């Protein structure tokens, strides 16, 4: 391993130590450890340490093909200590500001969506439903009114027409009355025969299918 490679490895591991400190604080900020169950905390911790180890080893592999040296661990500790002493406070303030900005942006987008898209669409749908119901009620009321008017008109014309027909029937000669009565009785009798024949045919068909 050349001196330049060793120097680059040292700088990379110091940077990874500082990055590990920032990632650890970020992880602690979002984990909310007191409110989580023990097994969830254990799984999260295990995954965090595995991912950090993989990231560090991958960086080491890119720098010096993955060769481990004692000073690598010293460089990691130096980087972590430098983060704790110099950058932790700055990073935590930056992290909180970033979280507040993201939350504020989310709330702004949510309110924008509610006021510009969701509520107008819901209001339009409610207006359409109200218009349809109003038109339906109005149409139903109009139909009822028209039917009442028609019934009233029919009553007005039916009563005089009934009296005229009765008067006309009384004025007819007895011979014509008898002929009309015979024709009516004959027609009614034929209709009864047809109905009885249909009923008998239906009964036979039912008995065959049973």
- pLDDT for position 157: 74
User: How much is the pTM?
Assistant: 0.55
Predicted confidence (pLDDT) per residue in 38-62, tens digit: 888 888 889 988 998 898 888 888 8
- pLDDT for position 130: 92
Mean pLDDT calculated for residue range 102-131: 91
Geometric angle at alpha carbon 50, from 87 and 89, rounded to 5°: 10
- pLDDT for position 68: 74
Higher confidence at residue 25 or residue 206?
25
Q: Using CA atoms, how far apart are residues 143 and 171, in angstroms rounded to an integer?
A: 41
Mean pLDDT calculated for residue range 56-79: 83
Q: Using CA atoms, how far apart are residues 111 and 100, in angstroms rounded to an integer?
A: 16
Higher confidence at residue 42 or residue 176?
42
Residue 92 makes CB contacts below 8 A (sequence gap 6+) with: 25, 29
Q: Report percent pLDDT > 70 for the chain.
A: 89
Q: What is the mean pLDDT of the chain?
A: 83
Q: Name the one residue in this structure whose structure tokens are 């992290």.
A: 95
Q: Name the one residue in this structure whose structure tokens are 């039917």.
A: 147
């Amino acid at each position: 391993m050349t001196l330049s490679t060793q120097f680059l490895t040292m700088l990379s591991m110091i940077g990874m130590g500082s990055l590990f400190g920032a990632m650890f604080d970020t992880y602690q900020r979002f984990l909310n450890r007191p409110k989580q169950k023990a097994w969830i905390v254990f799984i999260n911790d295990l995954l965090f340490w595995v991912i950090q180890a993989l990231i560090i080893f991958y960086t080491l592999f890119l720098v010096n093909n993955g060769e481990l040296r004692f000073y690598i661990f010293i460089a990691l500790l130096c980087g972590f200590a430098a983060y704790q002493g110099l950058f932790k406070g700055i990073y935590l303030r930056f992290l909180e500001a970033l979280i507040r900005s993201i939350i504020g942006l989310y709330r702004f987008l949510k309110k924008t969506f509610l006021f510009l898209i969701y509520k107008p669409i819901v209001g339009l749908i409610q207006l359409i439903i109200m218009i349809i119901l109003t038109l339906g009620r109005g149409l139903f009321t109009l139909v009822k009114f028209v039917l009442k008017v028609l019934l009233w008109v029919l009553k007005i014309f039916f009563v005089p027409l009934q009296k005229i027909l009765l008067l006309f029937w009384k004025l007819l000669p007895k011979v014509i009355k008898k002929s009309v009565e015979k024709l009516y009785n004959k027609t009614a009798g034929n209709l009864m025969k047809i109905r009885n024949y249909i009923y008998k045919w239906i009964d036979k068909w039912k008995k065959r299918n049973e």
